[in-house]
Amino acid sequence: MTELPALAYVNGRLATGLLDLTSDPAALDSTGFWVVVQTYEGELTAARFESVREVDLAEVRSRWPWRGPHRQDWESSIDEGTYVAAVEKIRDYIAAGEVYQANLCRIMSAPVPDPAAIDVVGLAHRLAVGNPAPYSAVVRLPAADLHVASASPELYLSRRGCEVTSRPIKGTGRTAADLLPKDHAENVMIVDLVRNDLGRVCEIGSIAVPELCVLEEHPGLVHLVSTVTGRLLLRAGWPELLAATFPPGSVTGAPKSSALRIIDELEPVGRGPYCGAIGWVDADRGLGELAVGIRTFWAAGGMLHFGTGAGITWGSDPDREWAETELKAARLVALASAG
């Protein structure tokens, strides 16, 4: 079967004609239009494309109709009982003063009916109709064995020259009435973490929080979203910016170093593109926009994967946190599934 051509659809732009593939973040400060996928574990794939044009996703043709996994075939890397116990473990760490918050995630996986006829562009069409999102993207890079479709609502980093913005999400419910004081506290903690991360590579005094805990509505749920801005130091480019802020604070925890250690202890499998970064960089114009890789599917080894998680604080109810992961997954997994 003929290999699918490389393409990406990000920010309303269709990128075709693959020119280069690299794992070097310094390339993002060179020339050209780059599509970026960085896994939570830090593996960077940057693809430079020859042609970029603004189109509607409906105009991007999928090679085959989407045939997703059967709903009953999805399995979770962490079952409910284990997840609840892990939440309690994080609360123990909080009581001991080792961490204030940690994001606990699980990976859902299911076999696709025909791995040889899978095209994530078809899945992206389903997501665009059933779960529109501000940072929707699809990346198809057969040469890198990378096939990702994302309906992310969260901005990790936006760059306009030296001006940088991040919009962390923390606090999720079906409606605004579901949000608790714990959700607001969770958001504020992550805002402080993002301020600290950006402060490593931004001018002193330039960090600002123009929006704090703003309610945003998305299909089937609501989020609390804050905005953090800063002005990059002249010596800082994409390598320094990513090194200072990755993985995103909203999907790790605070302090980040402790949260990363706890996540590594409690999560049995890697997160892959989930909780990483997905987006684009226009190196010629000094522009870029990377989303947090949440609400994200990726295909590998004949399987389709999807991640879901929740931020755990001292005020967390373990059963409620499990329910939050179910809420975040339900709509999207249904869209990706067959029957």
Say which of 43, 50, 98, 170 is annotated catalytic. Answer: 170
Distant-in-sequence, close-in-space partners of 233: CB < 8 Å, separation ≥ 6: 201, 202, 203, 240
Beta bridge partners of 214: 225
Cis (ω within 30 of 0) for the bond into 247? yes
Residue of 144, 77, 146 whose CA lies nearest to 118: 146
Backbone φ/ψ region at 11: left (φ over 0), alpha (ψ -120 to 50), beta: left
Q: Which ranges constitute the DSSP H helices of 159-237?
A: 181-199
Q: Distance (Å, rounded) from C-alpha 54 to C-alpha 252? A: 34
Q: Which ranges constitute the DSSP H helices of 39-174?
A: 80-95, 120-130
Q: Distance (Å, rounded) from C-alpha 91 to C-alpha 314? A: 5
Q: Examine the residue annotation and report whether 170 is marked as an active-site residue of this protein.
A: yes
Residue of 138, 140, 112, 143 whose CA lies nearest to 126: 138
- Kindly state the tokens that stand for 230: 């800063």
Residue 221: strand, helix, or coil: strand
Say which of 3, 43, 154, 217 is annotated catalytic. Answer: 154
Angle at 268 between CA 148 and CA 240, to 5 degrees: 55
Phi and psi of 232, rounded to 5°? -60, 145
Q: Examine the residue annotation and report whether 154 is marked as an active-site residue of this protein.
A: yes
Q: Distance (Å, rounded) from C-alpha 284 to C-alpha 262? A: 40
Residue 78: strand, helix, or coil: coil
Give me the active site residues, please: 154, 170
